[in-house]
Structure 1
């Protein structure tokens, strides 16, 4: 039984979608979540800057005695996780768009990927998409502006709806039957997307798979905390905590902190 916390970081509040899946699967685990909203979004930044920010977040979580680190950010995973695994002696769980299940299950032979620029332009994304794109059309769409709207609390705004209509149009024209969400902010758009998409189109995100992988690695390394006690759940953000509190249904204290 290991009571050290699971450390989780994202470029902002979106990774709370991953935290929710981890907490649901591992309800007794202590967690520390970092929202680096002051530097969001990571997507337009260069690889070196993304690595530097990921190092900063990792070192903060290690200083809090984290036993495992979940990089709850597609852009940080695709650009920095290889470097982080080499530099730090702690297990890392990464996130990348769930191209594989969409590519294996599509009936129309067309799938859509909505992701950030940093993810779509990364070597890891390119290699994964090449691996599963044989005979399948993959429509990649950069979700420019979406993260900023979510970070500012404008998830259900007219501006968001207008952006989504623009980004979905080429996918619908290509007759996709799977939409892969390639950013941890984007699951918060699912209620809107379900209203905008034809019913046969399935939406895939990585949350459940990441939670299962986190549990599997903790079990493998004998690091699970199975004590039936109330966990210590900490949330830190380096900008206004209001939006993050709302995404957590105001059930948890969110601390504004420089890190």
Structure 2
């Protein structure tokens, strides 16, 4: 492997672009290849075996694209499949887990909320993590329908507002002081969630931590691109119509629709 090879990222859809943005901001000299498996979104409703099979397929796509490191930019895929991926492929993997630790350590009310998919909240890895913070009451809420609305381009819809209110209000009533977002799609909902939450409740997502961990692992493996790269590129692939992802990324990057 060499430093000019790209970082690979995959998600069940467009949500992992929230992770890509943090990685790109911290590591501007790194080329990237992003894979959005929107055709199969959301992963949170699928069985563990299905999630593993899809994650292997995505990994092999990124390996063919010459990735030097792969970010599993999906909480559900991380919690259900990353162990298997690390056992089967000889490449560094970075996973995405709900940022329960900082919320639990800083909570003054000793109550935190987590909004995530069913696939994340029912996973073995998530339950192991929760057990480490038994001193804190964790109010879990499955975000039924949120990923589908985002994937369909209905980010600012009446239905979205109604769903978010129904999920977040019970947590407010429980006196949480931190809300953890456990899905990479959900950072795109932060402006709307802030309108529902009282100002003292802080929102935490995993993006910055993932970017820092990516930088650390690249440095440890001597794979980091430290200087401007004349061959720099960013490739975005999606197996559904590209308009929603294009809107999230803006006009500086081209999204390619490709069947995989």
TM-score range, shorter chain: over 0.9
TM-score of the aligned structures, taking structure 1 as reference length: 0.98
CA RMSD in angstroms comes to: 0.8
**1:91-147, CA deviations, whole angstroms, 9 ceiling, x for partnerless residues?**
000001000000000001100000000000000000001111x22110000000000
CA shift at 1:225, angstroms?
1.1
CA shift at 1:226, angstroms?
1.9
Contact kept in structure 2, 1:245 and 1:253, CA below 8 Å:
yes
Query: Structure 2: how far apart are the matches of 1:75 and 1:3?
Result: 29
**1:137-165, CA deviations, whole angstroms, 9 ceiling, x for partnerless residues?**
10000000000000001111000000001
Structure 2: give runs of 5+ residues left out of the alignment.
none
Query: Structure 1: how far apart are the matches of 2:170 and 2:126?
Result: 20
Query: Structure 1: how far apart are the matches of 2:26 and 2:225?
Result: 12
- Partner residue in 2 for 1:191: 191
SS of equivalent to 2:155: coil
- Partner residue in 2 for 1:18: 19
Contact kept in structure 2, 1:6 and 1:30, CA below 8 Å:
yes
- Partner residue in 2 for 1:222: 222
Query: Structure 2: how far apart are the matches of 1:221 and 1:136?
Result: 36
Structure 1: give runs of 5+ residues left out of the alignment.
none
Matches within 5 A, 1:1-259: 2-132=3-133, 134-229=134-229, 231-259=232-260
Contact kept in structure 1, 2:4 and 2:229, CA below 8 Å:
no
Contact kept in structure 2, 1:31 and 1:232, CA below 8 Å:
yes
TM-score of the aligned structures, taking structure 2 as reference length: 0.98
SS of equivalent to 2:132: helix
CA shift at 1:196, angstroms?
1.0
CA shift at 1:44, angstroms?
0.6
SS of equivalent to 1:43: helix
